[in-house]
């Protein structure tokens, strides 16, 4: 199946009135654009280096706005002036699932391509910059990479704020992400001290308060919602004979990979009178590939082999039986 035949992402209609404009760097398939358009922003330019992702982006948004190419090679004067730059730059070198090479790594160093464009834009740089990445960004090289990145934005005249949001607050999937909002400094009063909250955990608050050299502008943000659903509420209920379920031999092998503690959890689920689900990853523990279950009704963060991990597994059990398959997306 061609990527272009993938079902298009639903989009909301927006009014013809003047809207705030944005440029989407490291656009992927356009999920940031989708969110912005739902808030009546207009994305007028986008960039990604991956032609496969670009094909999906084109299928969802057309071919007019996306430039395919290396961010380091894009002339700043070819990017239209706008209010906001968004940048979900590569996490490979910042993620704990990767090599942790930091902002100097082959992939995550793409951040510096964005900074160079902001420099070259001069007085025409955007009022706002939004960065999004894994929580490992905060911890990379003992916090040195995060400090370096924020200082680079401050050197360009921005004041910054940072917070962490986990998708599990909205949907039954764990996906914690670190966000940075940079706003052009215009002499307004700023709050430079952070307090712990559901979006600023201890590690982030400590970083903020221990780095007064960074030009902070800490905002009071609303509390996050409480999730209403679990994996059971949204999982696709495939028939027992569906070919996506693994063979008995393969499922038995999965069971043998469980650690003693997780094997107990699996057997408890099998013995229940109702059907329940768990998700699982295979991880290397003491040189051995082992499977670990998550049974709290929340799926783990989906990872890719490129990022240093494998696909997520779905475990279904109850009424004396169990089945195993890959979690499909």
First to last CA, the chain: 15
- CATH tag, 3-209: 3.40.50.150
Q: Give domain limits for the chain.
A: 3-209, 231-326
Q: What is the pTM of this model?
A: 0.85
pLDDT at position 97 is 58
Q: Which residues of 305-326 are buried (b: 16+ CB within 10 A; e: fewer)?
A: eebebeebbbbbbbeeebbbbe
pLDDT lower than 70: segments of the chain: 1-18, 93, 95-100, 105, 302-310, 329
Length of the chain: 329
> Crossing angle, helix 144-155 and helix 111-121, to 10 degrees?
10
pLDDT at position 5 is 38
């Amino acid at each position: 199946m061609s990527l272009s035949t993938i079902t298009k992402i639903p989009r909301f209609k927006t009014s013809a009135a003047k809207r705030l404009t944005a440029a989407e760097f490291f656009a992927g398939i356009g999920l940031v654009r989708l969110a912005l358009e739902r808030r009546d922003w207009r994305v007028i330019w986008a960039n990604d280096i991956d032609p496969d992702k670009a094909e999906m982006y084109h299928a969802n948004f057309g071919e007019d706005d996306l430039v395919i190419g290396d961010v380091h090679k894009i002339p700043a004067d070819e990017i239209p002036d706008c209010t906001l730059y968004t940048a979900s730059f590569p996490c490979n070198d910042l993620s704990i699932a990767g090599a942790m090479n930091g902002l100097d790594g082959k992939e995550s160093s793409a951040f510096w391509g964005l900074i160079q464009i902001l420099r070259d834009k001069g007085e025409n740089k955007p009022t706002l910059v939004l960065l999004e990445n894994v929580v490992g960004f905060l911890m990379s090289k003992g916090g040195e990479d995060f400090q370096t990145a924020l200082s680079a934005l401050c050197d360009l005249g921005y004041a910054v704020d940072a917070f962490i949001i986990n998708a599990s607050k909205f949907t039954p999937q764990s996906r914690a992400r670190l966000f940075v909002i940079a706003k052009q400094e215009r002499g307004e009063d700023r709050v430079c001290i952070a307090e712990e909250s559901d979006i600023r955990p201890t590690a982030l608050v400590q970083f903020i308060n221990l780095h007064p050299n960074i030009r902070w502008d800490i905002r009071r943000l609303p509390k996050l919602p409480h999730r209403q659903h679990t994996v059971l509420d949204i999982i696709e209920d495939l028939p027992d004979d569906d070919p996506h379920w693994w063979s008995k031999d393969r499922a038995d092998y999965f069971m043998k990979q469980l650690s003693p503690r997780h094997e107990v959890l699996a057997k408890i689920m099998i013995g229940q009178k109702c059907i329940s689900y768990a998700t699982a990853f295979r991880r290397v523990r003491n040189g051995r590939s082992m499977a670990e279950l998550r049974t709290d009704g929340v799926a783990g963060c989906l990872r890719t082999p490129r990022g240093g991990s494998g696909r997520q597994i779905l475990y279904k059990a109850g009424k004396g039986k169990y089945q195993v398959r890959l979690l499909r997306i």
